[in-house]
Amino acid sequence: MKNKPIIALPCRSFTVNMPLTPQAQGAIDSYVSTIVNAGGIPLLIPLIENTDDILQLFECCDGLLLCGGEDIHPSHYGTNLEKHELGDETVTEMMQPNSVRDTLEIALVKEAWKNKKPILGVCRGSQLLNIAFGGTLYQDIEQDLGIKGHLALRHKDDSPELLDANIHTVEIECDSRLHSILNTDQIYVNSLHHQAIKDVPQDFMVVAKAPDGIIEAIECKDKNQFAIGVEWHPELLWQRNNAEWINLFKAFVKSASS
Protein backbone atom coordinates (compact mmCIF):
# COMPACT_ATOMS: atom_id res chain seq x y z
CA MET A 1 0.00 0.00 0.00
CA LYS A 2 1.33 3.43 -0.95
CA ASN A 3 2.12 5.69 1.98
CA LYS A 4 -0.02 8.78 2.40
CA PRO A 5 1.77 12.14 2.17
CA ILE A 6 2.60 13.88 5.43
CA ILE A 7 1.44 17.49 5.52
CA ALA A 8 3.10 19.93 7.92
CA LEU A 9 0.71 22.24 9.82
CA PRO A 10 2.56 24.85 11.89
CA CYS A 11 0.81 25.43 15.21
CA ARG A 12 -0.50 28.68 16.60
CA SER A 13 -0.50 29.84 20.22
CA PHE A 14 -3.72 29.90 22.22
CA THR A 15 -4.78 31.29 25.56
CA VAL A 16 -6.90 28.59 27.16
CA ASN A 17 -9.21 28.62 30.15
CA MET A 18 -7.15 26.22 32.24
CA PRO A 19 -5.53 27.50 35.46
CA LEU A 20 -2.35 25.42 35.33
CA THR A 21 -1.71 25.72 31.59
CA PRO A 22 -3.04 29.07 30.34
CA GLN A 23 -0.94 28.95 27.15
CA ALA A 24 -1.17 26.18 24.57
CA GLN A 25 -0.17 25.37 21.01
CA GLY A 26 -2.27 23.58 18.45
CA ALA A 27 -4.20 23.69 15.20
CA ILE A 28 -7.86 24.34 14.45
CA ASP A 29 -9.77 21.09 13.94
CA SER A 30 -11.09 22.13 10.53
CA TYR A 31 -7.57 22.22 9.06
CA VAL A 32 -6.64 18.85 10.54
CA SER A 33 -9.83 17.10 9.43
CA THR A 34 -9.63 18.64 5.96
CA ILE A 35 -6.15 17.23 5.35
CA VAL A 36 -7.32 13.83 6.57
CA ASN A 37 -10.35 13.91 4.26
CA ALA A 38 -8.15 15.00 1.36
CA GLY A 39 -5.99 11.91 1.82
CA GLY A 40 -3.04 13.26 3.79
CA ILE A 41 -1.60 12.81 7.26
CA PRO A 42 -1.39 16.09 9.21
CA LEU A 43 1.70 16.66 11.34
CA LEU A 44 1.57 19.58 13.77
CA ILE A 45 4.77 21.62 13.85
CA PRO A 46 5.46 23.23 17.24
CA LEU A 47 6.38 26.89 17.62
CA ILE A 48 9.93 26.88 18.93
CA GLU A 49 12.73 29.36 18.37
CA ASN A 50 15.27 26.84 17.07
CA THR A 51 14.45 26.93 13.37
CA ASP A 52 17.09 24.32 12.53
CA ASP A 53 15.28 21.75 14.66
CA ILE A 54 12.01 22.48 12.88
CA LEU A 55 13.61 22.21 9.45
CA GLN A 56 14.99 18.83 10.50
CA LEU A 57 11.46 17.76 11.46
CA PHE A 58 10.14 19.12 8.16
CA GLU A 59 12.41 16.73 6.23
CA CYS A 60 9.88 13.94 6.84
CA CYS A 61 7.01 16.05 5.46
CA ASP A 62 5.77 16.12 1.87
CA GLY A 63 3.83 19.39 1.87
CA LEU A 64 3.19 22.56 3.87
CA LEU A 65 -0.20 23.97 4.86
CA LEU A 66 -0.08 27.54 6.15
CA CYS A 67 -3.17 28.16 8.27
CA GLY A 68 -5.01 31.30 9.29
CA GLY A 69 -4.35 33.25 12.45
CA GLU A 70 -2.92 36.47 13.79
CA ASP A 71 -1.41 39.31 11.77
CA ILE A 72 2.16 38.99 10.47
CA HIS A 73 4.50 41.62 11.85
CA PRO A 74 5.03 44.26 9.14
CA SER A 75 8.78 44.32 9.78
CA HIS A 76 8.81 41.22 7.55
CA TYR A 77 7.68 43.39 4.64
CA GLY A 78 9.67 46.50 5.44
CA THR A 79 7.32 48.76 7.35
CA ASN A 80 6.11 49.63 10.84
CA LEU A 81 3.16 48.30 12.80
CA GLU A 82 0.15 50.58 12.41
CA LYS A 83 -2.68 50.87 14.87
CA HIS A 84 -6.03 49.72 13.53
CA GLU A 85 -9.34 49.25 15.28
CA LEU A 86 -11.30 46.07 14.70
CA GLY A 87 -14.08 47.09 17.05
CA ASP A 88 -13.66 44.16 19.41
CA GLU A 89 -11.00 43.95 22.14
CA THR A 90 -10.85 40.14 21.96
CA VAL A 91 -10.40 40.13 18.19
CA THR A 92 -7.71 42.82 18.42
CA GLU A 93 -5.78 40.72 20.94
CA MET A 94 -6.10 37.63 18.72
CA MET A 95 -4.54 39.53 15.81
CA GLN A 96 -1.34 40.51 17.67
CA PRO A 97 1.72 39.25 15.75
CA ASN A 98 3.63 36.20 16.97
CA SER A 99 7.29 36.68 16.09
CA VAL A 100 8.21 33.02 16.60
CA ARG A 101 5.46 31.85 14.27
CA ASP A 102 6.31 34.48 11.65
CA THR A 103 10.00 33.53 11.56
CA LEU A 104 9.33 29.80 11.63
CA GLU A 105 6.75 29.81 8.85
CA ILE A 106 8.86 31.97 6.55
CA ALA A 107 11.73 29.52 7.02
CA LEU A 108 9.41 26.59 6.27
CA VAL A 109 8.10 28.24 3.10
CA LYS A 110 11.62 28.78 1.80
CA GLU A 111 12.61 25.21 2.67
CA ALA A 112 9.51 23.81 0.98
CA TRP A 113 10.19 25.93 -2.10
CA LYS A 114 13.83 24.82 -2.26
CA ASN A 115 12.80 21.17 -2.14
CA LYS A 116 9.80 21.52 -4.51
CA LYS A 117 7.33 20.57 -1.78
CA PRO A 118 3.79 21.88 -2.38
CA ILE A 119 2.55 24.84 -0.35
CA LEU A 120 -1.04 25.89 0.31
CA GLY A 121 -1.76 29.07 2.25
CA VAL A 122 -5.12 29.99 3.78
CA CYS A 123 -5.91 33.59 4.81
CA ARG A 124 -2.86 34.55 6.93
CA GLY A 125 -1.11 31.68 5.16
CA SER A 126 -1.67 33.34 1.79
CA GLN A 127 -0.25 36.58 3.13
CA LEU A 128 2.73 34.75 4.66
CA LEU A 129 3.45 33.02 1.35
CA ASN A 130 3.41 36.41 -0.36
CA ILE A 131 5.68 38.03 2.23
CA ALA A 132 8.20 35.16 2.24
CA PHE A 133 9.20 36.02 -1.33
CA GLY A 134 9.22 39.80 -0.98
CA GLY A 135 5.56 40.79 -1.25
CA THR A 136 3.76 43.34 0.93
CA LEU A 137 0.38 43.77 2.62
CA TYR A 138 -2.25 46.36 3.36
CA GLN A 139 -2.33 46.31 7.15
CA ASP A 140 -6.04 47.11 7.23
CA ILE A 141 -8.40 47.07 4.25
CA GLU A 142 -10.78 49.71 5.55
CA GLN A 143 -8.12 52.00 6.99
CA ASP A 144 -5.63 51.79 4.11
CA LEU A 145 -8.03 51.57 1.16
CA GLY A 146 -11.27 53.01 2.51
CA ILE A 147 -13.13 49.86 1.49
CA LYS A 148 -15.98 49.03 3.87
CA GLY A 149 -17.99 45.83 4.11
CA HIS A 150 -15.38 43.52 2.58
CA LEU A 151 -15.14 41.20 5.53
CA ALA A 152 -17.36 39.43 7.99
CA LEU A 153 -14.96 40.18 10.85
CA ARG A 154 -16.17 43.77 11.11
CA HIS A 155 -19.72 42.67 11.74
CA LYS A 156 -18.76 41.99 15.38
CA ASP A 157 -20.72 38.78 15.18
CA ASP A 158 -19.10 35.52 16.29
CA SER A 159 -22.02 33.32 15.25
CA PRO A 160 -21.03 30.10 13.44
CA GLU A 161 -23.07 31.14 10.40
CA LEU A 162 -20.45 33.75 9.53
CA LEU A 163 -17.79 31.11 9.01
CA ASP A 164 -19.40 29.73 5.86
CA ALA A 165 -21.40 32.79 4.80
CA ASN A 166 -21.20 33.81 1.14
CA ILE A 167 -19.79 37.29 1.72
CA HIS A 168 -18.68 38.10 -1.82
CA THR A 169 -17.65 36.56 -5.13
CA VAL A 170 -14.15 36.19 -6.54
CA GLU A 171 -13.20 36.22 -10.21
CA ILE A 172 -10.64 33.51 -11.04
CA GLU A 173 -8.14 33.81 -13.91
CA CYS A 174 -8.97 31.16 -16.48
CA ASP A 175 -5.35 30.19 -17.20
CA SER A 176 -4.46 29.56 -13.55
CA ARG A 177 -3.87 26.35 -11.63
CA LEU A 178 -6.61 27.46 -9.22
CA HIS A 179 -9.09 27.63 -12.10
CA SER A 180 -8.13 24.15 -13.29
CA ILE A 181 -8.79 22.81 -9.79
CA LEU A 182 -12.09 24.59 -9.13
CA ASN A 183 -13.25 24.60 -12.76
CA THR A 184 -15.06 27.92 -12.50
CA ASP A 185 -14.53 31.59 -13.38
CA GLN A 186 -16.48 32.96 -10.43
CA ILE A 187 -17.35 31.60 -7.02
CA TYR A 188 -18.74 32.81 -3.70
CA VAL A 189 -16.40 32.78 -0.70
CA ASN A 190 -16.45 33.55 3.00
CA SER A 191 -14.35 36.47 4.22
CA LEU A 192 -12.63 36.69 7.60
CA HIS A 193 -9.59 38.86 6.88
CA HIS A 194 -8.97 42.52 7.63
CA GLN A 195 -5.61 42.60 5.82
CA ALA A 196 -4.88 41.98 2.15
CA ILE A 197 -2.04 41.42 -0.28
CA LYS A 198 -0.65 44.64 -1.79
CA ASP A 199 2.46 43.92 -3.87
CA VAL A 200 3.01 40.44 -5.31
CA PRO A 201 6.55 39.04 -5.66
CA GLN A 202 8.09 38.38 -9.06
CA ASP A 203 7.69 34.59 -8.90
CA PHE A 204 3.94 34.86 -8.22
CA MET A 205 0.86 36.15 -9.99
CA VAL A 206 -2.62 37.27 -8.96
CA VAL A 207 -5.19 34.63 -9.91
CA ALA A 208 -8.35 35.84 -8.14
CA LYS A 209 -9.84 39.17 -7.10
CA ALA A 210 -12.95 40.36 -5.29
CA PRO A 211 -15.32 42.84 -6.98
CA ASP A 212 -13.77 45.67 -4.94
CA GLY A 213 -10.32 44.87 -6.34
CA ILE A 214 -8.89 43.12 -3.30
CA ILE A 215 -6.44 40.35 -4.23
CA GLU A 216 -8.02 37.08 -3.11
CA ALA A 217 -5.61 34.44 -4.45
CA ILE A 218 -2.06 34.14 -5.72
CA GLU A 219 -0.04 31.27 -7.13
CA CYS A 220 3.50 30.76 -8.35
CA LYS A 221 4.24 31.13 -12.05
CA ASP A 222 6.29 27.93 -12.16
CA LYS A 223 3.86 25.19 -13.17
CA ASN A 224 6.22 22.58 -11.70
CA GLN A 225 5.80 24.04 -8.20
CA PHE A 226 2.47 23.88 -6.36
CA ALA A 227 2.21 27.10 -4.35
CA ILE A 228 -1.23 28.66 -3.95
CA GLY A 229 -2.55 31.15 -1.43
CA VAL A 230 -6.22 32.03 -0.92
CA GLU A 231 -7.64 34.72 1.38
CA TRP A 232 -10.87 32.86 2.12
CA HIS A 233 -11.33 29.75 4.27
CA PRO A 234 -12.09 26.73 2.06
CA GLU A 235 -11.51 24.39 5.00
CA LEU A 236 -14.74 25.76 6.47
CA LEU A 237 -16.70 26.02 3.23
CA TRP A 238 -16.38 22.39 2.17
CA GLN A 239 -17.58 21.10 5.55
CA ARG A 240 -20.46 23.51 5.96
CA ASN A 241 -21.52 24.83 2.60
CA ASN A 242 -19.93 23.53 -0.60
CA ALA A 243 -18.41 20.06 -0.71
CA GLU A 244 -16.52 20.89 -3.91
CA TRP A 245 -14.01 22.99 -1.94
CA ILE A 246 -12.33 19.77 -0.80
CA ASN A 247 -10.96 19.55 -4.35
CA LEU A 248 -8.45 22.30 -3.59
CA PHE A 249 -7.04 20.27 -0.72
CA LYS A 250 -7.14 17.05 -2.71
CA ALA A 251 -5.09 18.70 -5.45
CA PHE A 252 -2.63 19.93 -2.83
CA VAL A 253 -2.30 16.51 -1.19
CA LYS A 254 -2.02 14.81 -4.58
CA SER A 255 0.84 17.13 -5.47
CA ALA A 256 2.52 16.13 -2.21
CA SER A 257 2.18 12.48 -3.23
CA SER A 258 4.11 12.81 -6.47
- Give the tens place of pLDDT for each residue, 199-221: 999 999 999 999 888 999 999 99
SS3 95: coil
| pTM given for the model | 0.90
Using the predicted structure, report yes or no on whether residue 237 has a pLDDT greater than 60: yes
**235 included as an active-site residue:** yes
Answer yes or no: 150 catalytic: no
User: Which is the catalytic residue, given 150, 168, 194, 233?
Assistant: 233
What is the residue extent of each domain of the chain?
A: 6-257
Q: Of 12-21, 146-155, 188-197, which one has max mean pLDDT? A: 188-197
Active site residue 233: yes
Choose between 240 and 3: higher pLDDT: 3
At what angle are helices 246-257 and 29-37 packed, to 10 degrees? 60
Residues 37-74: pLDDT tens digits? 999 999 999 999 999 999 999 999 999 999 999 999 99
d(CA 82, CA 139): 7
Whole-number Å distance between alpha carbons of 43 and 32: 9
- Overall fold of domain 6-257: Rossmann fold (3.40.50)
> What pLDDT was estimated at residue 185?
95
Per annotation, catalytic residue among 105, 111, 219, 235: 235
> Of 11, 61, 67, 123, which is the active-site residue?
123
